[in-house]
Amino acid sequence: MIRVGMLTSGGDCQALNATMRGIAKGLYNLYDDVEIFGFLDGYKGLIYAEYKKMEKSDFSGIIKRGGTILGTSRQPFKLMREPDKNGLDKVESMKHTYRKLRLDCLFVLGGNGSQKTANLLSQEGLNVIGLPKTIDNDLWGTDMTFGFNSAVEIATNAIDCIHTTAASHGRVFIIEIMGHKVGSLTLEAGMAGGADVILLPEIPYDINKVADAVRRRSKAGCGFTIIAVAEGAISKEDAALTKKEYKKKVAESPYPSVSYEIAARLEELTGSEVRVTVPGHMQRGGEPSAYDRVLSSRLGARAAQMCKDGEFGNLVVIKNGEIDKFPLAESAGKLKVVDPNSSIVQEARLLGITFGD
Ligand code: F6P
C-alpha cells in the first residue's frame, strides 16, 4: 500500500499530464494498492488542503493532453517563509496537509522556483521527488526538461510562418521567444527556423552590430532578415547597469518589451521596415511533441521506482540519454544558462548567425 501526492507548479507546459500519467502507471505497476492525491493549482492546493483523490481512470487518455489536469499557480519561493494574508504559516501548513493525508511521498512537477520549494519541504522532513518541467530548459542537473522540445517546435513554426511573409515584403522581422533569464529556447528555435540574428540574455548585444548584419544581408541581395530575440535579451549598455538601474530603465521604457526597442533602433539605423511578432504563451500550449511524451513517460516511471526505493530528496533527470537522479539540494537555486562558448553557439556562428556581440 502506498499513498502519494502530486502537484504541478509554476508556469504550465506541454507534457505535465504525460508525466503524471507516467508516475501513476509506474506506481500501479509497482504496488498492489495505490492512493494518489492530486493537489489543485500547485502548492496552493498543498497549503490550503485543496485536493482531489485520483482514480486510475483520471490518468487515462492524457498522454497527449496539454496543460495540467490539476491546474497550476505561481507561489514564489521567496514568499514561502512569509505568512499569508491571514497569518497562516505556509510551510507548516504544507507539512500538516502531507501528514494529515499520511502521504509516503510527494511528487513535484515544476521548474526552478518550484524545485526550490520542493527542496525546502525535503529539508523539513517530507519525502519529496521532483520532476523537471519547463519550456526554458534551465534546470540545473538535467540535460533536458519536459516541455522544452514541444515549445521549440511551436517557436520554430512561428519563425517559419514569418519567414515567408518577411521574404515577400522584404522586411526585417523580430520574433520574440520566451525566456527571461535563459536563451536556450530562442537559440534552438532560432537555429531551426533559419534565423539570421539570435539575441540571448547570455550574450549582450551591440545594436550597431545587429544593424550591420541587416545591412550586410541587403547588400548581398537578401531583402529580408529574421531576428530571434529572447524575452530577456539585453544590450551591452544595459548589461553594464546595476540591477536597480536596469529595473528603473525597464519600468520607464516606452516599449512593451525589448524587441520593440530593438525594432525602433534598427529602423533608425538601417532605414528598413521592421516588424515584431510575439508568439507568447502559444509556446506553452497545445499537445506535447512525441519526444516530450517519451521523456515524460520515462521520467514519471522512474520517479515511481525511486519512490519504491526510498530515493527521496532527488530530482529525476536525464543525462546522456539515461534517466538518473540528482539531489534537489544541489539543483535548487542554480540556473542552467546558455554557455556563450558552448559547441552549439560556435556552430551557430559557423553557420553565419550573428549574436550581436
Ligand atoms: O514557465 C516559463 C515561462 O514560460 C518563461 O519562458 C516566461 O518568461 C514566463 O514563464 C512567463 O510567465 P507567465 O506565464 O507568468 O507570464
pLDDT tens per residue, range 87-143: 999 999 999 999 999 999 999 999 999 999 999 999 999 999 999 999 999 999 999
Strand pairing report for 314-319 and 322-327 = antiparallel
135 three-class SS: coil
Taking the CA of residue 12 as reference, the ligand 1 atom at the shortest distance is: 1
Percentage, residues of the chain above pLDDT 90 = 99
How many Å apart are CA 32 and CA 62, to the nearest integer? 22
The protein residue whose alpha carbon is closest to atom 2 in ligand 1 is 11
Nearest to 230 by CA among 296, 182, 297, 277: 182
Helices (H) and strands (E) in the chain, counts: 13, 11
Annotated active-site residue 136? The verdict is yes
DSSP 193-220: TT-SEEEBTTB-B-HHHHHHHHHHHHHT
Confidence of residue 275 (pLDDT cuts 50, 70, 90): very high
pLDDT, mean of residues 217-224: 91
Count of residues making up the chain: 357
CB 274 within 8 A of CB 227: no
Q: How do residues 300-354 score in pLDDT, each as one tens digit?
A: 999 999 999 999 999 999 999 999 999 999 999 999 999 999 999 999 999 999 9
pLDDT, mean of residues 17-24: 98
Q: How do residues 45-96 score in pLDDT, each as one tens digit?
A: 999 999 999 999 999 999 999 999 999 999 999 999 999 999 999 999 999 9
Distance of CA 271 from the midpoint of ligand 1 (Å): 33
Q: Which of 112, 180, 258, 337 to mutate to test the pocket of ligand 1 (most atoms within 8 A of CB)?
A: 180
Q: Check residue 123 and give its pLDDT.
A: 98
| Whether residue 179 has its Cβ less than 6 Å from ligand 1 | yes
Q: Check residue 203 and give its pLDDT.
A: 98
Distance of CA 32 from the midpoint of ligand 1 (Å): 39
In the chain, the N- to C-terminal Cα span, in Å, equals: 58
pLDDT at 223 over 90: no
| Whether residue 47 has its Cβ less than 6 Å from ligand 1 | no
